[in-house]
């Protein structure tokens, strides 16, 4: 039976109001993870208040190397 390992990466919005996300930075990180053999399972945002995004979480898995 195959074994998997999992990794969670978070991105926090920046900017003065804490609402700015840099799509290019996220894309670069996702491509890096893909090159390392990680498969994106899910992404989600966590809300702070009034629907504002506190952070984005990306959940990855790959076959275990141990």
Pairing of β 53-63 and β 4-11:
antiparallel
pLDDT, position 52 = 72
Element (H, E) at 43: strand 39-47
pLDDT, position 18 = 66
pLDDT in tens, 5-60: 999 999 887 777 666 778 898 999 999 999 999 999 999 988 777 777 778 899 99
Asked if the model's pLDDT at residue 66 lies above 70, the reply is yes
């Amino acid at each position: 039976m195959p074994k998997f390992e999992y990794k969670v990466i978070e991105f926090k919005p920046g900017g003065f109001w804490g609402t700015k996300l840099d799509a290019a930075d996220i894309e670069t990180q996702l491509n890096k993870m893909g090159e390392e053999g990680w498969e994106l399972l899910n992404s989600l945002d966590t809300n702070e208040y009034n629907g504002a995004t506190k952070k984005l979480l990306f959940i990855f898995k790959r076959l275990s190397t141990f």
